[in-house]
Amino acid sequence: MKMVHLILVSVIALIAFYLQIDDPQVVFHVYLPVLAFCFIFGLLQKEPNICHISIMLAVVALTEYSLFSTGLIDLGSPDDDYLIVGTKIFGIQLLINLFAIALFIFRVQISRFFSSSSKIVLTDFDGLFHWLFIVAGIMNVLALIENALRNGLGWLSLTLIYDIYTFVGSAIMALTCGLLLTMLILQAKNKQLT
């Protein structure tokens, strides 16, 4: 089996696994150890790019998790106005995605600010991570529009984005893990060749 096929199968398996879980809290508790594994691998291989990307992904995930799961952002009750609650939730997630996009666009500069390692370079993967958060941001914009149409204008049958929101989120997390694991595999392969 070629390496490309192995990576593709791994990403598809992660997507299927995350979708089967169907609980954002549990998915988060599976996602974070993958990031920790990648960080430790980067430390052991003395590869700061992998370490910094892992930390940045963890910061984004922990920010979102801490805001929503701890009750800092109220997810609403059945008596609340769903237009306001949905706008608040999807708006904050959009802000988190914009933060992540900026974080990954300027990843090399941020890494160089915190480390003086000469190994910090623009990798082939740096151009991909921010696109995953752009897709997540687009989903949040669409969710905001759908929320306004559904709860503001009374189009109650409009649930397309709401129905696929968890799937897209799980797929983005799985693709993020797949990209990071691909970086690890290529790093290990390059070490074996030298």
Provide the residue ranges of all domains of the chain, joining segments of one domain with +.
3-193
Which percentage of the chain shows pLDDT scores above 70?
96
Instruction: Judge whether residue 192 has pLDDT over 70.
Output: no
Q: Where are the alpha helices (DSSP H) in 46-159?
A: 48-69, 82-105, 107-114, 126-147
Please report which confidence band the pLDDT of residue 169 belongs to, taking 50, 70 and 90 as the band edges: confident
Q: Is the pLDDT of residue 78 over 80?
A: no
- The pTM (predicted TM-score) of the whole model is 0.89
pLDDT of the residue at 177: 87
For the segment 100-145, what is each residue's pLDDT rounded down to a tens digit? Answer: 999 999 999 999 999 988 899 998 888 899 999 999 999 999 999 9
d(Cα 50, Cα 187) in Å, to the nearest integer?
A: 9
